[in-house]
A and B are shown apart, each in its own frame.
Chain A
């Protein structure tokens, strides 16, 4: 994608760029998927299948699982219209603000960076700079999400291709031809194998780590921005609440240590007979005394 100067309406420009990059990535990833399907269809068409009802059922299940996988890979979440989001289903529980992605644009990102890195004048434009930084980091998330999704899409495409190759090999030799049920198993085993290999690859781990890092950076900047807005209004912030929780936690620790020390002291009084129970309590408080 070539960079070009921002227009007079940066928001409209950003929207346009996002759409362009999104469509570019989506088209490429979908092409990979469709190529795999084409190879699979070719391989299937080249072989003989049993006409037993069980086999027909199993083959239909194969196609259903195929479309299910496709659906999970390309499907839009409820409420999202328009183009599907490649890889959305594979992002699992990553926060929606990270996984929800449209596209990124180098020119937009550069422009925002220039805004964020401009001269800092006291009392002037602080919230704007924060907002710009949030936007810049959001674009980084979109970029790393696109890359991550392309790695995942590549794995699915590889699964398609490997499965088609295995089927074609069997049909080519005319031996060990799987019926529909075996084909389903072969497809599931092949996909599982490819995905496991992918998950352990440096390429995948790097892409996932980068997405995670960019997501975390974005959410921290987002928090900073929101806190800058609410703090002047006297509202509590996440940072303040975390501090309170930490104080409460440290107080609890001290109270428990004091309780144990106090119990040990009272048990050491001469009036208390030395029984097995008091011995036990003494041992129980040993940790408190050490503290």
Chain B
């Protein structure tokens, strides 16, 4: 029987079913405590603490296969826990299970007191200290660096500044040519590039003058604009769709826990990130300096693996696949994988692909 809209009886019946589902969901939510939603549970030990930065070494899960230790450096926007979200969706566990000696640097929770930290403080300071600690602890001559997103830029800069200490460099979902989104413009991708270019340098300076940091919640609101409807329906349609499935529900909550843990970005480093890179695109043009030293890409002489996500709406693939011919090495591998910026780490399909790809590549280049 055709109809224009549901009649009153159907609406009431459906409303009752809906209310039942909401009530069940609320009851379920009420029984879950924050500690029940665990993320980043893979055991690790603190090796170094300097200021708010901590270096951890993961405990091995199997016999060592890669002798040179690997340091994961995540972005300051977000937290490294994304790489170890849950036991069955964990790049960390996938690497450990393949015999990697894995380390991770946690940038901590920068506050306004950390306003003056620059990118050079992270690269020439904290990463350098972490690498030194790894060399001292393991007796290795060099380390493998694995940089993710902004952390990829940091590790690339470190590799250019201290090439003798780096055995190999793996970049994941890393922005490199910050203007390349204009060559391959897709509506769903690269809004952060567009937004950053819409500001003047004075706008950026004033934000940091006012806030001292780039607030995590502010960056969260910019990220929400990348997927406007998804952001608007997340807590009604999406949540209700999973609330009666324990496994999916907990997956949802784990992701929410990670999303809600969005640290502030130190002010000076944020100014450099937005002005020098997003606006002036200095990195790929070999015009970037850190602490008075040139970040010269031709000094990156070690093997480089560059993995990007084909459906990445935050870091458009066009901005990542740009290093060919720019480095001081011919051992350069570029790998585009299905998935999005976060899906590359947490989707079920990625679990066997990313970790295996990295380990296979590393094992051929182990010192």
Contacts and interface: CB of A to CB of B under 8 A. Distances in A.
**A and B from one assembly?**
yes
Contact of A242 (B165, B212, B237): B212
B209 A249 contact: no
Contacts, number: 149
Given A191-B229, A276-B141, A242 B207 contact: no
B135 to A, nearest CB: 5
A216 B116 contact: no
B31 interface: no
Contacts of B18: 60, 64
A154 interface: no
A72 B232 contact: yes
A215 B113 CA distance: 22
A31 to B, nearest CB: 22
A213 B205 CA distance: 11
Contact of A249 (B116, B128, B199): B116
A124 interface: no
Interface in A57-115: 57, 59-61, 64-65, 68-69, 72, 91-94
Interface in B211-229: 212, 215, 217-218, 220-222, 224-225, 227-229
Contacts of B236: 64-65, 68
Interface string B118-140: 00010011001001100110010
A205 B194 contact: yes
A223 B112 CA distance: 15
A216 B206 contact: yes
B221 A93 contact: yes
Given A56-B6, A209-B199, A280 B14 contact: no
Interface in A30-61: 44-49, 51, 53, 56-57, 59-61
Nearest to A63: B5
A16 interface: no
B51 A276 contact: no
Interface size class of A (residues with CB under 8 A): 35 or more
Contact of B221 (A59, A68, A92): A92
A249 B124 CA distance: 15
A155 to B, nearest CB: 9
Contacts of A57: 14, 17
A249 B227 CA distance: 38
A192 B203 contact: no
Contacts of A276: 139, 141
A286 B124 CA distance: 11
Contacts of B230: 192
Interface in A175-227: 180, 188-189, 191-193, 195-197, 199-200, 205-206, 208-209, 212-213, 216-217, 219-220, 223
A245 interface: yes
Contacts of A281: 132, 136
A60 to B, nearest CB: 5
B5 A45 contact: yes
B193 to A, nearest CB: 10
Contact of B188 (A49, A196, A246): A196
Nearest to A284: B132
Contacts of A253: 121, 125
A110 B3 CA distance: 57
| Chain A interface main SS type | helix
B128 A220 contact: no
A60 B11 contact: yes
Contact of A45 (B4, B164, B212, B291): B4
A287 interface: yes
A277 B237 contact: no
Q: Which of A44, A180, A195, A246 has the most CB of B within 10 A?
A: A195
Contacts of A213: 203, 206
A193 B227 CA distance: 10
A200 B191 contact: yes
Contact of A192 (B1, B191, B221, B228): B228
B30 interface: no
B209 A220 contact: yes
A44 to B, nearest CB: 6
A245 B115 contact: yes
B10 interface: yes
B27 interface: no
A197 B293 CA distance: 41
A290 B14 CA distance: 72
Interface in A241-262: 242, 245-246, 248-250, 252-253, 256
7 contacts: A44-B5, A192-B230, A195-B229, A197-B187, A209-B198, A276-B141, A287-B162
Q: Which 10 A-B pairs have the closest CB atoms?
A: A92-B221, A93-B217, A48-B2, A192-B229, A195-B228, A249-B116, A93-B221, A284-B132, A205-B198, A216-B206
Interface of A: 44-49, 51, 53, 56-57, 59-61, 64-65, 68-69, 72, 91-94, 180, 188-189, 191-193, 195-197, 199-200, 205-206, 208-209, 212-213, 216-217, 219-220, 223, 242, 245-246, 248-250, 252-253, 256, 276-277, 280-281, 283-284, 286-287, 290-291
Given A92-B221, A93-B217, A284-B132, 20 more contacts: A44-B5, A48-B3, A49-B3, A51-B1, A59-B5, A64-B236, A65-B237, A69-B232, A72-B232, A91-B221, A191-B228, A191-B229, A196-B228, A219-B210, A242-B212, A245-B113, A252-B51, A280-B136, A287-B124, A290-B293
